[in-house]
Amino acid sequence: MILSQSSPASPLPLNLRLLGMDHRQETINRPAGLSLYQWFFCVKGTGEFISDHQRSIVSEGQGLLIYPDIPHIYRSLSKDWTVHFIGFDGSICADLLHALSMPSSGVFHLARPRVFRDAIRDLHDLWTGGGADRSLELSARCYRFLLELSREISYLSPSELVPENQVLRRTLSYLEQNFSRPVSLSDLSPVTGLSKEYLCSVFKKEMGQTIMHYLLKLRISHARIYLIQYPDKRIADISRMCGFESPSYFGKIFRKETGMTPEQYRKTI
């Protein structure tokens, strides 16, 4: 389940923007990063985080902090990689995180993993409970959560350096920028300078899946966010925004990937 809220009329010094519980994490590639601070907690399975040519493993019970606007990739290394997460922003975030010994992106060991589990449930209950002062109370509880979390974490150094694969970088960047429109292998060939056959081979070796399967998952990932972010838009509109020409096909694929229809998914928030 992913919850999202837009910017309030008067932004607070600390704003909770995203919250996810028991989310089966798909591959995410953000060449320009995301304009939010993100904290993840690994509930189950194993994933990897790649940024600045460095690779870190994220295992069960560990946390991952990602700063805004940092190019990064994270993806599952096991079929059951499941996470809780929050996304937040605000004028005090940078100073607060530095003061709490969280000065940069990276993977952390949590001495007491229940601190994250308890906090995410508390925030979820408040978020779904509604109320006129919800944003203010979410901000206050998020602040307290970060304070408590700072007492439980220790930084884990990246496990290895990752040589930059220019072909993969160009392919992932192109897909991220063009997922909302029709994309074919013929479009990608001139971007990478490789034949379609060789490009498919390189991508499959590096990512463990085909280009088209990755693109499909990328579109569904954006659809999950759009369904929550734009509650008044029709499913057909969301379908087109994510590059699906047929709403019925979108519904079929969405259900296959998430276990529910787009309408059911939207009602879970």
Amino acid at 10: S
Structure-token pair, residue 26 = 């798909």
Give CA–CA dist 122/117, Å, rounded: 9
Contacts of 238 (CB under 8 A, 6+ apart): 223, 226, 227, 230, 250, 262
How many secondary structure helices (H) and strands (E) does the chain include? 10, 12
pLDDT at position 259, please?
84
Judge whether residue 269 has pLDDT over 60. Answer: no
Check residues 132 and 38 and name the one with the higher pLDDT: 38
pLDDT at position 146, please?
97
Q: Per-residue pLDDT tens for 188-223? A: 989 888 899 999 998 888 888 899 998 998 899 889
Q: Per-residue pLDDT tens for 63-89? A: 999 999 999 989 888 889 999 999 999
pTM: 0.70
Domains in the chain: ranges and CATH:
2-160 (2.60.120.280), 166-267 (1.10.10.60)
pLDDT at position 1, please?
61
